Amino acid sequence: MPARVTDPAAIDFDLPGKHHYRAAFPLDGRWGFSLVPITVINGLRAVDADGTGNTPGVAVFGGTHGNEYEGQIAVKRLCHDLDPAEMSGRVILMPQLSESACAGHTRTSPEDGVNMNRAFPGNPRGSLSYRIAHFVKTQVFPRVRVVIDLHSGGREASFPLCTSLHPIPDPAQRAETLEVARLFDTPFVYVYSRQMATGLLTDEAEDEGKIAVGGEFGFGEGSNVRGIRHAYEGVRNVLRHYGMLTGQPAKIDTSRASAPRLVQAPHLADYVPCPRTAIWEPVVEPGEEVAHGQLVGRLHDFGDHISEPLEIIAHRAGVIVALHFGAHVQQGSTLYVVAEDVSL
């Protein structure tokens, strides 16, 4: 039976067991609705696995951008697989937060042209994306303490598999956020700049004092095998960590002995814009180490096929945490990002 279509305001977040909905948000440009999938689980075990009796509540989002699929797939599978009889506490799962963008396989919503991950804190009288963001802010966030938003590079950039967070001033919030970020066992945990953009889902959650973790689980509008595994098993690890599922968090990538490597790129100077529109030939891979002055890639002009390419040289030493994905790159697009090791 398909999930029940409902007015978003009518969802009962306290109902015991597992309940699937499609929350109907009216469209702006025509008569109809964006049916946003949402699964609410209230575990049936009276006491959580660690016996403390209090669980934080966890919300997990996929499809905040419509052309990023690993999170959509992982969260959809969790909607199916998580068994309330084995759980305590509340989990709210939204596999396609920007449902209209997901239906269109686009980063932003084709209904209102808005990037869902710039629409927070939302607006009840705004266009579709702002109203969905407002729903998350006013109906989902108050019911959870842990917020996970699963992204991938789409057509923007290629990343090494990572979870991510912003610099967090409060030491206790920072320590717990890092602990949760590490549970996904990705090769990298990446602390990135808040200056690049505002209105992010995780910005909003962080500002409310929540434990908010993002992540990049693939790129290129594909379905990355390892990325989906880290996203899916990572959420299960988070639920185990908080005693909402029984058992201990488990190593996800058994081929890598090391813990996730913590790196940061908090300064805008390390997000290097492309100097001219061209064809991009990277010569390094995401996650690779570069030295100061090392060649990162070449920009080619096919208006003259014997012209010298413009060489892009690393402005500092570090690890490449993002590279422009498409070969066709426009002036001003972020070409690469260099990060450095950090201990927090």
Contacts with Zn ion by CB under 5 A lie at 65, 68, 151
Smallest separation, CB 164 to Zn ion (Å): 11
| CA-to-CA separations, 185 to 219, 244, 268, 326, 342, in angstroms, rounded | 18, 19, 27, 27, 17
CA dihedral 302, 303, 304, 309 (to 10 degrees): -50
Q: Measured from the CB atom, is 155 or 300 closer to Zn ion? A: 155
Measured from the Cβ of residue 207, the count of other Cβ atoms closer than 10 Å reads 12
For residue 179, the tally of other CB atoms under 10 A from its CB is: 14
What is the smallest separation between the CB atom of 322 and Zn ion, expressed in angstroms? 12
Q: Identify which of 68, 71, 70 has the alpha carbon closest to the alpha carbon of residue 60.
A: 71
CB of 68 to Zn ion, least distance (A): 5
Q: How far is CA 154 from the centre of its chain?
A: 11
Smallest gap from residue 126 Cβ to Zn ion (A) = 20
CB of 119 to Zn ion, least distance (A): 13
* Minimum CB distance to Zn ion smaller for 55 or for 186: 186
225 DSSP 8-state letter: H
Q: Which is nearer to Zn ion, 65 or 137 (CB)?
A: 65
Q: How far is the CB of 291 from Zn ion (least distance, A)?
A: 30
Burial category of 30 from C-beta neighbours within 10 Å (exposed 0-12, middle 13-18, buried 19 and up): exposed
Whose Cβ is closer to Zn ion: residue 179's or residue 221's?
221
Residue 82 or 114 with smaller CB distance to Zn ion:
114
First to last CA, the chain: 48
CA angle, 288 then 293 then 299, to 5°: 80
Report the residue number, 151 or 240, with the smaller CB distance to Zn ion.
Answer: 151
Query: Which of 231, 145, 150 lies closest to 183, judged by CA?
Result: 231
Q: How many residues does the chain have?
A: 344
Shortest gap between Cβ of 10 and Zn ion (angstroms)?
Answer: 29
CA–CA dist 149, 231 (Å, integer): 10
Of the pair 151, 166, the CB lying nearest Zn ion is at 151
